[in-house]
Structure 1
């Protein structure tokens, strides 16, 4: 399994619409990446005011090839472009593998 972790750093003055993220963005992620091997996701929102991140999402893919296929598909551009619809934060991301 390969995971893609997307973190949204807490940034002074930044906005993040959690309702849009859950109701619109995450369904778009699943609809777009699912056919390429996305097997699941987990979204965590900060539960303290001084947290270093507003939200952290883990996307799980069958393997590295599935991740590459999903993120390089022509439809992936819509997922990345949608970020501007819910936040002014520039996310940080990393790919990880299970031990």
Structure 2
């Protein structure tokens, strides 16, 4: 199992629609990436007075190879095009976490 962590960050003026992200965007991600082993998607919303992270999305795939295949898929463009529907965050970070 491999987890892809996606962080959206920005200042206090950044728009972020939590409901859309956790419901609509995740449904789209599942529809596009399930064939590559996406098993689940979770949303976390950190809070810190001086913090800049708006969201943490955790996408659980059956394998690291599945993550890489999903990101290379033409369907990924649909997911990226959907980002504007929930945020205008200027920073999006991606990282992989695997069990050890």
Using structure 2 for the length normalisation, give the TM-score. 0.87
- Once superposed, what is the RMSD of the aligned Cα atoms? 1.5
Task: Give per-residue Cα distances to partners, 1:13-56, cap 9 Å, x unaligned.
Answer: 1100112112211100111111110112221112x352442210
**Aligned match of 1:77:** 77
The equivalent residue for 2:38 is 38
Task: Work out the CA distance in 1 between the residues paired with 2:63 and 2:22.
Answer: 25
Within a 5 Å distance, the mapping from 1:1-99 to structure 2 comes to 1-46=1-46, 48=47, 50=49, 51-89=51-89, 90-99=91-100
Query: Which TM-score applies when normalising by structure 1?
Result: 0.87
Q: Which runs of 5+ in 1 are unaligned?
A: none
For structure 2, the 5+ residue unaligned runs are none
Query: How many pairs align?
Result: 98
**Mapped partners of 1:49, 1:15: distance in 2:** 17
CA distance in 1, matches of 2:42, 2:86: 18
